[in-house]
């Protein structure tokens, strides 16, 4: 089964705008990770946030985690056409890693 839901399911923005994607999960986690996947390709790891962290930055990425609401958000600032991809959150516990439904992001040049 999947870990949870992501919203929006699809997001279309203009280059230069910010993109915000949200993820909710069902069970308790040790950490939550965000991945990017280009069509038909493998996963690219973006960022990991631990359960005791609330916010983390990496370049143009900003991730927040609210364990009380079992939710996370990924913000991509100053988006580029090359950011067009599907983005997935994945919650990890002691046993395994489960993915959210994903958001398909399209950045128009």
Partner 1 sequence: GAVVSQHPSWVICKSGTSVKIECRSLDFQATTMFWYRQFPKQSLMLMATSNEGSKATYEQGVEKDKFLINHASLTLSTLTVTSAHPEDSSFYICSARDRTSGRYYNEQFFGPGTRLTVL
State the residues that interact with partner 1 by CB under 8 A: 1-2, 40-43, 45, 88, 90, 92, 95-102, 104
Question: Shortest Cβ distance from residue 70 to partner 1 (Å)?
Answer: 17
In the complex with partner 1, the residue whose CB is nearer, 39 or 68, is 39
Question: Shortest Cβ distance from residue 90 to partner 1 (Å)?
Answer: 8
In the complex with partner 1, the residue whose CB is nearer, 96 or 109, is 96
- Distance of alpha carbon 23 from alpha carbon 1, whole angstroms: 15
Query: E strands within 1-109?
Result: 6-7, 10-14, 19-24, 31-37, 43-50, 55-58, 61-66, 71-76, 85-92, 97-99, 103-108
Question: Shortest Cβ distance from residue 27 to partner 1 (Å)?
Answer: 13
Question: Shortest Cβ distance from residue 35 to partner 1 (Å)?
Answer: 8
In the complex with partner 1, the residue whose CB is nearer, 15 or 43, is 43
Q: Give me 67's structure tokens.
A: 């364990």
The structure tokens 């599907």 sit at 86
Integer-rounded Cα Rg, in Å, for the chain is 13
């Amino acid at each position: 089964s999947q870990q949870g839901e992501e919203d929006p399911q699809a997001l279309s923005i203009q280059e230069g705008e910010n993109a915000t994607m949200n993820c909710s999960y069902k069970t308790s986690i040790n950490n939550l990770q965000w991945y990017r996947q280009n069509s038909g390709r493998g996963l690219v790891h973006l960022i990991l946030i631990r359960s005791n962290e609330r916010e983390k930055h990496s370049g143009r990425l900003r991730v927040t985690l609210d364990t009380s609401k079992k939710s996370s958000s990924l913000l991509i600032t100053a988006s580029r056409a090359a950011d067009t991809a599907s983005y997935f959150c994945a919650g990890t516990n002691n046993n395994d890693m489960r993915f959210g439904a994903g958001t398909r992001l399209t950045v128009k040049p």
